[in-house]
Structure 1
Amino acid sequence: MIAGISVAVAVLAGCGPLPELDGDPTAGKDGGAKSDSETGRGVNPLDNPDGTGPGLKVISSDKDRAKARDLIDKVATKGRGAKTGYDRDEFGYAWADSVDDVPWGRNGCDTRNDLLKRDGRDIKYRSGSNCVIASMTLYDPYTGKTIDWTKSKASEVQIDHVMPLSYDWQMGASRWSESKRKQIANDPLNLIPVDGSTNGSKSDSGPATWLPPRRDIRCSYAVRFAQVALKYDLPVTSADKAAMLEQCA
C-alpha cells in the first residue's frame, strides 16, 4: 500500500463511496515528487497511442482533458448487440504469442508476461527463463494499490481487457476474422495488469456501468477505452460514450 493513501474498492464504480486518492506526496530522489518511472504509475494515455508505455497516468490539465473529450467524441455509437455465439476461444487461446500486427507479437513470450514486464518493477524471472516472471511489484492504476506479486498467487494480478472481449463481440467483432479478434485480445493498447478482485467486478461492463474505483484515473481509463474503439473501428453504446465524456469534463 502506498504511504498516506487509503484505498476502498467499489464493486460498481458508478455506485457507492469512492476512494480518496487524489494527490501523492511521496518524494523522489531529488527531494521532489517521484517521477512516473520511479513510482511505476505509467504514462498519459494521450502520449501512449500504441499502449507500449506502462500503466495509466492521471490526466489532470484542462488542455489534456479537452484533448481527451475531442478523442472520445470521434467514437461512433450504436446499440449493444446480442451475445449469441460468444466464447473466449473465438479470440484465440488466452495470451497467445502467435499474433501478427501488434507490439510484441511473436517475440517468444506470451502476452501476459509481456504486460507484466511492461508495467512491473523489481522483476524477477523464473529460474532458467528470460520470459516467465516469478515475482514483481505492480502499481495498480485502478485502485492506487501497490501489489507485491508472486506467481504462486497468480490471480492476485489479472490482465484487464479495457474494452472487454464480450463487449467487442456484441459491438461488431462477431463478424471479424479470427486473426483480427486475436489482435484485439492481445494488443497492449487494450491490456492493463490490475488488482484481480477489482478486475473480476468489471465483467464485460462498459463505462456506463463500471469505472475504476479510483476517481482521478477515470478520464485516463475513458481515453484508453476510446483509443481501442477507434483503432479497431468499434462503436460504443450512447450511454457508455456519455459516461466517458463525463469523466473528462
Structure 2
Amino acid sequence: MRTALAALAVLLFALTGCTVSVDGSGATSSPAPITIGKPPKIPPTTGTAKLIAAELAKVRVAVRPKVAGYRRDQFGQTWSDDHNGPGGHNGCDTRNDMLAAQLQAVQYRARSKCVVIAGVLPADPYTGRRLEFRKADASKLQIDHVYPLARAWDMGAARWPMQRRVDFANDEAANLLVVDGPANASKNDAGPGEWLPLNRAYRCTYVLKYLRVATKYALPITTDDSNAAKTILPTCP
C-alpha cells in the first residue's frame, strides 16, 4: 500500500508541483510559490568603444580631394553670432560663448555680459594640462574645430549654401572645443588618421566627436581616419 501511495505522490508532484503525504491520511502540502515573469532588463552598453563603432558603421569613407577656393570667410565672419545652433543670436559671439561655457572662474569685461577677459581651463582636452586664460595673451587658448574647416571644404562643404557653412563653423555643441593654442596649431586641418591629442585619456572622446560631426553633416572620413578609429577601439572604455 505504501509503495502504491509513494508512486502516486511522485506522479502528482510531476504533474502539479504538489506533494502528497504517504501516511495514508490523504493530506497534501501546499506547493512552494513560483514567480514567473520577464527576465530583468540588461541596460545597453554605452561605452565609448561601442559608440565609436556605431558611428563608423554610419559614416562614409572617401579620398580627400583638393578643392580650390577655401578661405576662412567661406564659412562666414569668424565666430559669428548669426548661426542657427545653440548660442546663436544670443548677442554674444561664438568664441566668447565657448570661453564662458568651458572655463572656470570666468571674468568679464566691465559692463559687458559677453567678453571674457580671464578664466581657467581645468584640464585642456588635448594636453591634459591646467591652463589659464588672459585676453591680453588670447592665443594661448584657441577654439578648435574638431572636424576642421579646410577639411570640410574639401570633403563637401564647398557645395553647401553659405548659411550651412556658417552653422557648421559655429556649432558650439558638436564641433568646437576650447584647447591649448600650440596643440591646436599642430593639429591644423588634420583628422584622426594624421593627428591625435597628446592627452591619451581624451583620444577616444576626440575620435567619437570627430565621427559624430562627420555623421551630423554627412561629411565623409578618410581611410586613415577609419583605420585610426578602429585601432583605438580596444583602448576605449
Matched residues in 1 for 2:47 and 2:141: separation? 33
1:151 aligned partner: 135
What SS does the aligned partner of 2:70 have? Answer: coil
Q: Deviations over 1:212-249 (max 9, x none)?
A: 11112111000000110011011011111111222222
Higher mean C-alpha displacement, 115-124 vs 63-72: 63-72
CA RMSD of aligned residues (A): 1.3
Residue of structure 2 aligned with 1:190, choices 172, 175, 196: 175
Residue 92, structure 1, aligned to residue 86, structure 2: no
Residue 137, structure 1, aligned to residue 120, structure 2: yes
Deviation at 1:64, TM superposition (A): 3.4
Which consecutive residues of structure 1, in runs of 5 or more, have no partner in the other structure? 1-60
User: TM-score if structure 2 supplies the norm length?
Assistant: 0.77
Larger radius of gyration: 2
4+ runs of 1 displaced by more than 6 Å?
none
Which consecutive residues of structure 2, in runs of 5 or more, have no partner in the other structure? 1-44
Deviation at 1:72, TM superposition (A): 2.6
Checking the alignment, whether the CA contact within 8 Å between 1:140 and 1:193 is kept in structure 2 is yes
Matched residue type, 2:228? A
Deviation at 1:62, TM superposition (A): 8.4
Matched residues in 2 for 1:123 and 1:166: separation? 31
Matched residues in 1 for 2:93 and 2:101: separation? 13
Larger helix proportion, structure 1 or 2? 2
1:24 aligned partner: none
Matched residues in 1 for 2:104 and 2:178: separation? 12
What SS does the aligned partner of 2:87 have? Answer: coil
Matched residues in 1 for 2:66 and 2:215: separation? 21
Matched residues in 1 for 2:97 and 2:46: separation? 33
Residue of structure 2 aligned with 1:105, choices 65, 81, 88: 88
What SS does the aligned partner of 1:158 have? Answer: strand
Checking the alignment, whether the CA contact within 8 Å between 1:78 and 1:235 is kept in structure 2 is yes
1:37 aligned partner: none
User: TM-score if structure 1 supplies the norm length?
Assistant: 0.73
1:33 aligned partner: none
Residue of structure 1 aligned with 2:205, choices 212, 217, 220: 220
Matched residue type, 1:72? L
What SS does the aligned partner of 1:79 have? Answer: coil
2:191 aligned partner: 206
